[in-house]
Structure 1
Amino acid sequence: MRLKVFLPTEILVDEEVTKVIARAENGAFCLLPRHIDFVTALVPGILMFVNGEGEENFMAVDEGTLVKCGREVLVSTRNAVLGPVLGGLEQTIYKQFRTLDDREKAVQSAVAKLEANLVRRFMELK
């Protein structure tokens, strides 16, 4: 199978694999080359894949979409981090994804304040 992992700014992974294990809302699943085609929404977690040499690789993924079509497995996500060791990946995920969540909350708060201010000023014009 060919695994491709797409981020907004780059293609993080593009290689031949023999197995992919990921998590969706209803639990973990394993894809092998003859698996049926399907589409699923991924939840934040660990995606594991075995490359052509039999080496296990781990990747932390944020929410995203996985499409299995023929011999291709396509993953699209906003954030992903490759890590050779599962234990070290957990700390990286926590730091990187937590920082992004905090930034998103700050931006959402600022946008809400701007919207409220805009509505208040329109009301003052009447």
Structure 2
Amino acid sequence: MAPPSMNLKVLLPFQVFAEKTDVTRIVAETRDGSYGLLPRRLDCVAALVPGILIYETEADGEVCLAVDEGVLVKIGPEVLVSVRRATGGTDLAQLRETVEREFLALDEAERDVRLVMAKLETGFLRRLASFQHE
């Protein structure tokens, strides 16, 4: 009898980044820390933060991916990971540097843009409200 395993699919907005079968374990990073999945774990959903996603198969051994924020969904043996960006590599230190340099820096820029947009929207609504009262 074959040991239990999972099927992993890593999805990007416009493509499938990776699709693996016979995955024996998965470790992903959430806001509360690392989150491990084994084949017989109950179904779950987890919000992912930019970090390293690790999965293991008999054929490939342990594989590391740098992923941006997203969501992980486990339903039975199927595990779907949907993230904005992902990259693979062999050097764990290089992947960690990629996460810090590219994914987190872009998140800061997006936060700045959202803050500016919120200020513009607030100013517009104030002017519209004062215009309606005249």
* Superposition misfits of 4+ residues, deviation over 6 angstroms: none
Q: Please, which runs of 5 or more residues in structure 2 have no aligned partner?
A: 1-5
Partner of 2:17: 12
Partner of 2:97: 91
Q: Secondary structure at the match of 2:104?
A: helix
Partner of 1:108: 114
Partner of 1:28: 34
Q: Please, which runs of 5 or more residues in structure 1 have no aligned partner?
A: none
Instruction: Give 1:73's aligned amino acid.
Output: V
Q: 1:21 to 1:108 in 2, by over 3 A?
A: same
Moved more, 113-122 or 3-12: 113-122
Instruction: Give 1:75's aligned amino acid.
Output: V
Question: Percent same amino acid among aligned pairs?
Answer: 44
Q: Retained in 2: the 8 A contact 1:81–1:93?
A: no
Q: Retained in 1: the 8 A contact 2:26–2:37?
A: yes
Report the TM-score when normalising by structure 2: 0.78
* Structure 1 residue 96: Cα displacement: 0.9
Q: Distance in 1 between matches of 2:103 and 2:41?
A: 31
